[in-house]
Amino acid sequence: MTATTVPEKPNVLSQEFARDPHTYYRIMRDYYPVLHDDVSGYYFVSRYEDVERIYKDSVGFSNENYGFQMEPVIGRTVIQMGGREHSVNRHLVTPALRGNYLNEMLPQVDDLAGEMIDEFRHAGRVDLVEQFTKWFPINVVVKMLDLPRGDLPKFHNWYSSLMAFLSNLTNDPEIHAWGMRTQEEYPAYILPIIAERRRNPGTDLISRLTQAEIDGEQFSDEQIKALIGLLLIAGGETTDKAIASTIKHLLLNPDQLEAVKKDPALATNALVENLRYHPPVQIILRTATADIEVSGTTIPAGSVVACVNGAANRDERRFENPDEFDIFRPDLNIRQAFAGSADHIAFALGRHFCVGSLLAKREGETAITQILAAMPDIRFADGAVPDDVGLFTRGPERLVVEFTPAA
């Protein structure tokens, strides 16, 4: 009997890993389901069952890691809270992102997408990342906050610095310095606006947050500042990458692309399958609160655990033919895909399931349907398939397409 050769442990910080993580994800799932990285000290968990367990176990695995990932730049947010503090803060913000206010915003989401697409529908060639997906979600957030559209470059710089700071595994001093600049610039910009909206509230999201109250508790200006910073991250780069990746994978699967063109309702299926196949947030961190065994490895108390969504979502133990992009996949419940009971792992799971998932859903549906309607013969420019980039968040850096210009 021939002995099985165990592959070398993947180096998650290597350039080879960054170029083709899915090759290494399979090695991790099969041979190193809990991989300890010596440089960062993190424990990378890659199997679906293990990642699901970690997200749902808020006692054994906390969000304390956001204390060093985000708090130094934007302050303490609901994403790192636990217990009653988390419950109160989540209840305060949920109506704005999942209630009547969201329903009021949805027509404006559609209008914003249409306005942006109108700027290039006659061009015949466009980089959809640079001219649409990079700006559309942040446009929506700025609209919700009723802030000047001319300040979009500032917001993009701030959320880019936040994402870089969040995923700075190697403690790059330049990334740290970039985050510290945001720490100074962002509060100086937003706190006076919050104070003014508290004095003279309108109907925008900032005003609503200043007035929100549960059991006599309200958000402070500092809390609102931090929450808006979280919206910039959760509502910016992640939705940007989800839309760009979905379009890319539809273009790579012409039969499915044609199906979505014929039935725009299938845009939801495409978005959900992309969340499974290529989640924009590939890795989310948690902190072990005690010594805990996962897949035969003891993770020491206080250790940072990296839940690898990108690996878990392609675990053949959970999904059939996981490396195939299939918008008609029978083992993925579309109805539950934007709720805490989702089959895929893209928004996390459990009590910290992404509260902005329904906004992301509408943005994705709107973007996909309007782009395909405006560019019915959309194709990769020069036949070139764009590369994906990123470790924590991942998606195409560019998405240059060609199409017949609108008459």
Dihedral of the alpha carbons of 321, 323, 329, 330, in degrees to the nearest 10: 30
Per-domain boundaries in the chain? 15-402
Instruction: Tell me how crowded residue 25 is: count the other CB atoms within 10 A of its CB.
Output: 22
Query: What is the rounded distance in angstroms from the CA atom of residue 308 to the CA atom of residue 331?
Result: 20
209 close to 219: Cβ distance less than 8 angstroms: yes
- pLDDT value, residue 92: 67
Q: Find the range with the poorest average confidence among 53-62, 232-241, 384-393.
A: 232-241
- pLDDT value, residue 64: 77
- Dig out the tokens for 173 from the structure: 């001093």
CATH superfamily of 15-402: Cytochrome P450 (1.10.630.10)
Within 13 Å and on the Cβ side, how many CA atoms surround 348? Answer: 23
Give 179's pLDDT tier (boundaries 50, 70, 90): confident
Query: What is the rounded distance in angstroms from the CA atom of residue 338 to the CA atom of residue 368?
Result: 17
Q: Find the range with the poorest average confidence among 80-94, 125-139, 172-186, 200-214.
A: 80-94
Q: Find the range with the poorest average confidence among 109-123, 139-153, 169-183, 326-340.
A: 169-183
Query: What is the rounded distance in angstroms from the CA atom of residue 80 to the CA atom of residue 65?
Result: 8
Q: Global pTM?
A: 0.90
pLDDT in tens, 328-361: 999 999 988 887 788 888 887 776 666 677 788 8
Percent of the chain clearing pLDDT 90 (strictly above): 52
266 vs 86: which has the higher pLDDT? 266
Query: What is the rounded distance in angstroms from the CA atom of residue 227 to the CA atom of residue 190?
Result: 11
Task: Give residue for tokens 């725009």.
Answer: 264
Average pLDDT of 88-108?
Answer: 70
**Secondary structure element (H or E) that encloses residue 380, with its range:** strand 379-380
276 close to 319: Cβ distance less than 8 angstroms: yes
- pLDDT value, residue 79: 65
String of DSSP letters for 112-154 = HHHHHHHTTTTTSEEEHIIIIITTHHHHHHHHHHT--GGGHHH
Decide the pairing of beta strands 304-308 and 43-45. parallel
35 has pLDDT over 60: yes
